[in-house]
A and B are shown apart, each in its own frame.
Chain A
Amino acid sequence: MRLRCWRTMWMTLAVTALASAFGAQGTAGAADIPDADMARIEAALPDRPTVQPRQERKLLIFSACQGFRHGSIPWGIAAVQSMGEKTGAWQSVVSDDIAMFRPENLAQFDAIVFNNSTGTLFEDPALKISLVEFVKSGKGIIGIHAATDCFYDWPEFGAMMGGYFDGHPWNEEVTIKIDDPKHPVNAAFEGEPLVVADEIYQFKDPYSRDALRVLLSLDTIRTNMAKRGIKRDDADFAVSWVRSYGAGRVFYCSLGHRNEIFWNPKVLRHYLDGIQFALGDLEADTTPSAQLIGPGGDVMPLEKALAAAAVYEFGASRLPLTAVAAHVRYALEHPAQRGPVVQGLLGVLESDGATVDGKAFVCRQLTLVGGDESVPALASLLPDARLSHMARYALQRIPREAAAAALRNALHATDGEVRIGVINSIGERRDRRAVGMLARIARADEPTMVATIAALGKIGGQEAFNLLAELSEDARAAGAKTAVLQALIPFAEDFARQRQPKRAAPIYRHLFAPENPRHIRVAGLRGLAQVEPMEVVSVVGGLLSDDDPQWRGTAARMVVDTPGVEVTTAFAGRLDVLPDEAQILMIEALAERGDAAAGPAVIAVISRAETPVRRAAVRALGELGEASTVALLASLAAAPDGDTVDDARASLDRLRAEGVDVAIVAVMEQGSPGVRCELARSLGARGAVAQAPALIGLAGQDGEATVRIAALQALGRLADEPHLPDLVRLLVGAASEEERDVAEDSLADACGRIDDVERRAAPVVSALEGADVPAKRSLLSVLGRLGGRTALDAVRAAVGDPETVIADTAVGALTEWPDAGAAPVLLAIAGQSPDPVHRESAFRGYIRVIRLPADRDPAETVRMHRQALEIAEGNEEIRLVLASLGDVNDASALALVEQYLPQRAVQSSAAASMISIARSLAKEQRAEALAAIDDVLAVCAGDEDMRVRAGEAVNHIERDEDFVTAWLFSGPYTKEKHDGGALFDVAFDPEMDGVQVAWRQMPAEAFSDPGIFDLNKVVNGSNCCGYVMTIIESEIEQEARIEMGSDDGLKAWLNGSVVHANNAMRGLTVGSDRGTVRLKPGANTLLLKITQGGGDWKVCCRIRRPDGFALEGMSFRSPH
């Protein structure tokens, strides 16, 4: 029972009175929530109203559901009801009675809360009219979470509430951004994003920012956007909003799925403000978000931002600049705003008081938003060396003729480098109208001429071409001949694009002229190859044996990419006139070209050439060969002592042409045994499943054992489920042990490819009946490799076979079983078999299979080990079980092993196992783990090896302990021209004796577990270093191990002496750097230096005994 001191008596009376008046209906009330939660809600509620109510306010809290009912409804009621009471902002009536919506009943309320209500709550048109009229008349409506999941058949409700629910992709921690930080209903958030875990809704029409003032929405950068069910592609996931409806007010917030939302102080304050807005007390703007003028959010108003931007100087805050940029961006999307923004920007350009930096910034903005009206002001800056570039920055990008004209006109108004810039911009704009004016200035000086030539290359067209031709003589004289050649290339490319090869080709021939530099000639030849491919064939062929290796390689590339089928044959036709090395180049290039038309010529090479060329040709057939090439490749692959065996095999396996697999079968049927072997192998490598019947035929009927074996091996690679009976039949009828072994492997491989464990064993099991002894043994081995229940039953049955070799094989198969299913069978054999060999191998097999990954409780695994211990024969078997238990992460394993600790013969196994269990157990049960290690040490005190292991385990368990967190910090220290690594050996004040150092305390938020100190949280820096210092108090003189990690380099001093130095560039690894030091009694000073290149900057350090245990009598403090 929760009666709060601020809960007024009349409230309870009011509810009772209403309930009796309308007949109470299953109203879930605040009484249903636990006291602890009520206390949380109370603690989180605001103490007072945001605004004092203008009059007494009355709120209806309505939570009826005609669909899904949220568990959080009572928490919502409690929060809203208590909020009104505690703050005095309203009084609540809680009811789920639809009679409340009759006009005469609604009249007493100022607003209604739809608290997670769902479905079609009422059908009566009179009630619908009543609700809408209530709101339109100037009252309020509030929606919590599922309030948009209502009345899908009543569009006006959807419009009034602001949208319909369309799935909830998220139910997890998300970040919510404050769309409108200054909106009064958002005061709770103080502009900071809200990180909260709740179910987050997605909305569909009529949701629209054209109608709603969106207050909160999902921060899609910080939220998992890989969730299923995301439908909106505009990334607009509103979380809360307000709107006007008639004279009334709507507030909706989709938070409220989880109970704990209702004790989140910020969300509660948001609800308070939203409800006070809906009640008519809190004034708030409801202009729809889409109609807001300006970028919204927290952005400085345009005029103020422009005034500050006008006097901006480098080094000052950029806030006004980014504000202006935000206004510009807004104007790009809202053409109505463009005028004022552009005028404001131009005002700065024309202002006498504006700084150069401010004007430069404005020019950058005009690159995006500027149009015709901006051109005069920008043009006036072109002659100004300080701002000319920035003026071009805008003018070059403004796609208006006025901007082009301004640049052209500036050719006369500028000179020197500034004019070069103007010429460059004209080139980038490809302004053909500028050619005439460029002609007049081109010869001014050499830089101008070179710039003009480059611009002409970009501009293109006949006029530019003519001018380029005119200039070429002067250019040659001025040493700019290459510039002209380079500028010619785009003209040729343009002609080529326009399918005018007759105009492009002469230019390319001109570029290819022998007197030109090699790369210009390359450009010419490559270009020519595109427009007159046949023309280059003989040149390229010749270049394949050029003295210059670069020409040889370039020619090979051209064989690959010169277009045209007839070119392929032409290149291939030159093969026989080339020297050997060039033939290899040509063949490899033809292979890369991949046009089968080259095949015949390449095949012709094989019969006449020397080995290296032959090999290249055979390799090339992998790319160029067709079905008809199979016979040739097969004979080469099968040739005894052939020089191209491996190449031919690889090519056979690679052939991609149509009908190759069928051709392989056809050749195989008529070929020699060697050919049959090769082709069977290749079918396997090619994965030619469709040809499996041919292989089955070969494996069963071929007269040659080698062929049968090759066919069986190939079947192992490709046989599918339908082929299994045949494969089983081949195994059973195998002509020799060797063939049977191959068949066994192939059958196991083929069965293993079937996903269903039981189905894969079925054909094998069914063949057991009636198979002879050798076949049966093979089949059992196969089953042993497959696993599963069907196989297990069959193998278990075979254990009792009167034939000893069968029984042995069955036990052998069980011991190698691939899953834990064989455990009971193995246990039974190990415990009961009359055969000691079977008992022993079954025991080992049992331990093996219970260690296999399985979906079972660790306690069950321990029980299985206990069963083994019960039947273990001899200490060796006990040790085997104890060792296996060491990997079981469970307290019951520890208890079981501990029973064996006193037994001398198995003591060290038990001890090792306990240490191992303790290590893994410590995460959950630390005390038990450490106690177990103590137990081990008590028994094994004299065993040095065990002490070391125990120490390592303790060190591991306590790996997060004894970290220094009492650091003082000094830094950052930098030195001109020194990066982080270089600073490692530069001594700054903390390294100097007797120098006063400014130390500061480390804030707690700079630490994270386990004792990692993030220096970036204190100061920011790159290419710097910093120092941390602490005092270690030690009661006695003792050895200690110091374990450190750092990002980046680390140097350590203890009591003034360097004890560690590692100039590393790295991320932090805890404990990566270790060393042993001697602590003196009393205070010891530990100083660390941490260098910083960039990115993370961290350090951690702890001190332990050299054997890994905690140091006795040691503490840290930061000195003052």
Chain B
Amino acid sequence: MAKPADMTRRQFVQGAAATAFAAPYIVPAFAGAARPAPSNRITMAQIGCGGMGRGDLHNFLQADDVQVLAVCDVDTEHREAARQAVEERYATNTAHGIYRGCDAYNDFREVLARDDIDAIVQSVPDHWHALIITGAARAGKDIYGQKPLSLTIRQGRVMSDAIRRYGRVFQTGSQQRSDDRFRFACELVRNGRIGQVHTVTCGLPTTPTRDNPPPSPVPEGFDYDMWLGPAPSAPYCEGRTHWDFRWILDYSGGQVTDWGAHHIDIAHWGLGLMNTGPIEVEGVGEFPDDGLWNAATNYRFTCIYETGVRIVVTNQFENGVKWEGPDGWVFVNRGRIDAHPRSLLNEKFGPREVHLQRSADHYRNFLECVKSRREPIAPIEQAHRTITVAHLGNIAMLLGRKVRWNPDRELFINDAQAQRMTDRAMREPWRL
């Protein structure tokens, strides 16, 4: 039977299953059952197959209700390794131990153009996030997107609006939200166990520095111009791309955004201030005088919110988040949780207290939400508000003075200079 030209794979499968109400609202786990039929799997593509992408891909490959159809990277070696990982994983499901069903792309636009892909995983450097996420939203895809969400404040706003407009499901890769310890710490704070919080401190790592490597030939198989994409033109050199991009302000915001995306997010979650922002930001940052990496190495900035609470973000504090109130404090990081008084650690919460959403697995939470269309545990709007704080900190430190911010309108108050720093022109032909 010839398939009508305009009928997509999805419509075709749906037509076949139309007689029964196939999937309930909350899709049950596939406990003990065979792998879901292809029509019930979420089809995905991995965009960006470097450091974080490898990890993300590995996690989605473990999910029985996912079928990874494509991988995409501008580095041939990363791309081919990812394709191989997918095919080896799925080969174990086939009778003959061979699987050839994963396409590999250099250009993410070809991935987005495929209408048989439901969702993408975005694990590329920060300067690419906005283009890939808005592109995916405009192509009707759901997205698991790595943190930090954005390169600029405006990019974050555009991304969040696009997700909302098109009713897309977006999970931010800030997986601390799916960690019991962080959730419990936030619930302690949210339920007033330490009283009205006056100060939160986010301890982040120090940003490293390095020398000025000379320009060098672009490695074979690496589409460097595409890697640069919307970023200013610059010759290839060692230490610029792959993992190290995050220390360069053209592509990222240093540790202030890299870890700020995690801990500021948790600070907001505990305070219940996930959908607003500070009204004043001030701080000091040391930006290297020389060398390729130019993000703030040492830094401390303070954000004051309308409620009066202060969030301090600094590299001169143990990695983690500490909330302080009149009745005690709570500290949490990936290794430990502590509180004063210690008895808080045994607290239970009543049925009418705040119970934050529970997620035992950040990837699973995303997949369930793709099916239910609910908002995942790390929604894009909150990620945008989180990373805005980090951007505000970088702007205040770069300007070397206090900035005032209107979190409702997302505009600086009487500060044309700071306002100029909320966005950057993209290199042609790229646009939001």
A→B interface (CB under 8 Å): 220-223, 225-226, 233-235, 314-319, 322-323, 329, 332-333, 360, 364, 367-368, 386, 388-390, 392-393, 395-399, 417-418, 420-421, 424-425, 427-428, 447, 451, 454, 482, 486, 489, 517-520, 522-523, 526-527, 545, 547-550, 552-554, 556-557, 579, 581, 584-585, 588, 650, 653-654, 656, 685-687, 976-977, 979, 1020, 1022-1023, 1093-1095
Contact B312 A687 (CB under 8 A): no
B→A interface (CB under 8 Å): 10, 14-15, 17-18, 21-25, 51, 77, 137-140, 164-168, 199, 201, 205, 208, 210, 212-215, 219, 232-235, 237, 239, 242-244, 282-291, 294, 298-300, 302, 312, 314-316, 350-352, 371-374, 398-402, 416-417, 419-421, 423-432
Contact B213 A421 (CB under 8 A): no
The 5 closest A-B pairs by CB, nearest first: A553-B373, A421-B428, A519-B140, A424-B431, A522-B167
Q: Using Cβ atoms and an 8 Å threshold, which residues of chain A touch B210?
A: 1020
Given contacts A421-B427, A552-B25, A556-B373, contact A1023 B243 (CB under 8 A): yes
In chain A, what residue has the closest Cβ to B283? A235
Q: Using Cβ atoms and an 8 Å threshold, which residues of chain B touch A556?
A: 25, 372-373
Smallest CB separation, A732 vs chain B (Å): 30
Q: Could you tell me the distance between the alpha carbons of A63 and B166 in the complex, rounded to whole angstroms?
A: 75
Contact A424 B300 (CB under 8 A): no
Q: Using Cβ atoms and an 8 Å threshold, which residues of chain B touch A547?
A: 14-15, 17-18, 22
Q: Could you tell me the distance between the alpha carbons of A1053 and B284 in the complex, rounded to whole angstroms?
A: 48
Q: Which of B18, B25, B282, B316 contacts A235 (CB 8 A)?
A: B282
Q: Using Cβ atoms and an 8 Å threshold, which residues of chain B touch A519?
A: 137-140, 166-168
Q: Could you tell me the distance between the alpha carbons of A234 and B288 in the complex, rounded to whole angstroms?
A: 23
Q: Could you tell me the distance between the alpha carbons of A222 and B300 in the complex, rounded to whole angstroms?
A: 9
- A selection of 5 A-B contacts at a CB cut-off of 8 Å is A329-B400, A420-B428, A527-B165, A581-B25, A686-B350
Q: Using Cβ atoms and an 8 Å threshold, which residues of chain A touch B77?
A: 977
Q: Using Cβ atoms and an 8 Å threshold, which residues of chain B touch A424?
A: 425-426, 428-431
Chain A contact residues, majority secondary structure: helix
Smallest CB separation, A1066 vs chain B (Å): 13
Contacts A221-B316, A389-B428, A392-B425 known; 4 new A-B pairs at CB < 8 A = A220-B300, A397-B420, A398-B420, A482-B138
Smallest CB separation, B338 vs chain A (Å): 16
Contact B399 A1094 (CB under 8 A): no
Given contacts A547-B14, A685-B350, contact A396 B300 (CB under 8 A): no
Contact A360 B212 (CB under 8 A): no
Contact B244 A554 (CB under 8 A): no
Q: Which of A319, A388, A451, A588 contacts B431 (CB 8 A)?
A: A451
Contact A417 B429 (CB under 8 A): yes
Q: Could you tell me the distance between the alpha carbons of A226 and B215 in the complex, rounded to whole angstroms?
A: 44
Contact A315 B312 (CB under 8 A): no
In chain B, what residue has the closest Cβ to A660? B352
Smallest CB separation, B14 vs chain A (Å): 5
Q: Could you tell me the distance between the alpha carbons of A454 and B131 in the complex, rounded to whole angstroms?
A: 14
Q: Which of A315, A322, A395 contacts B237 (CB 8 A)?
A: A315
Given contacts A553-B372, A556-B25, A581-B21, contact A221 B299 (CB under 8 A): yes
Pick the most buried of A424, A557, A579: most chain B CB atoms within 10 A of its CB. Answer: A424
Q: Which of A425, A588, A977 contacts B25 (CB 8 A)?
A: A588
In chain A, what residue has the closest Cβ to B398? A329
Q: Using Cβ atoms and an 8 Å threshold, which residues of chain A touch B294?
A: 318
Contact B350 A553 (CB under 8 A): no
Q: Using Cβ atoms and an 8 Å threshold, which residues of chain B touch A389?
A: 232-233, 425-428
In chain B, what residue has the closest Cβ to A399? B416
Contact B350 A315 (CB under 8 A): no
Smallest CB separation, A480 vs chain B (Å): 12
Contact B290 A318 (CB under 8 A): yes
In chain A, what residue has the closest Cβ to B236? A314
In chain A, what residue has the closest Cβ to B294? A318
Q: Could you tell me the distance between the alpha carbons of A264 and B190 in the complex, rounded to whole angstroms?
A: 48
Smallest CB separation, A690 vs chain B (Å): 14
Q: Using Cβ atoms and an 8 Å threshold, which residues of chain B touch A584?
A: 24-25
Contact A454 B431 (CB under 8 A): yes
Contact B165 A526 (CB under 8 A): yes
In chain B, what residue has the closest Cβ to A1016? B208
Given contacts A318-B212, A417-B429, contact A226 B312 (CB under 8 A): yes
In chain A, what residue has the closest Cβ to B25? A585
Contact B425 A523 (CB under 8 A): no
Contact B399 A332 (CB under 8 A): yes
Q: Could you tell me the distance between the alpha carbons of A424 and B140 in the complex, rounded to whole angstroms?
A: 23
Q: Using Cβ atoms and an 8 Å threshold, which residues of chain A touch B22?
A: 547, 549
Q: Could you tell me the distance between the alpha carbons of A938 and B288 in the complex, rounded to whole angstroms?
A: 62
Q: Using Cβ atoms and an 8 Å threshold, which residues of chain A touch B23?
A: 549
In chain B, what residue has the closest Cβ to A544? B25
Q: Using Cβ atoms and an 8 Å threshold, which residues of chain B touch A314?
A: 215, 234-235, 237
Q: Could you tell me the distance between the alpha carbons of A234 and B294 in the complex, rounded to whole angstroms?
A: 25
Smallest CB separation, A345 vs chain B (Å): 15
Q: Using Cβ atoms and an 8 Å threshold, which residues of chain A touch B51?
A: 979
Q: Using Cβ atoms and an 8 Å threshold, which residues of chain B touch A520?
A: 140, 166
In chain A, what residue has the closest Cβ to B166? A519
Q: Using Cβ atoms and an 8 Å threshold, which residues of chain B touch A319?
A: 289-290
Q: Using Cβ atoms and an 8 Å threshold, which residues of chain A touch B287?
A: 322
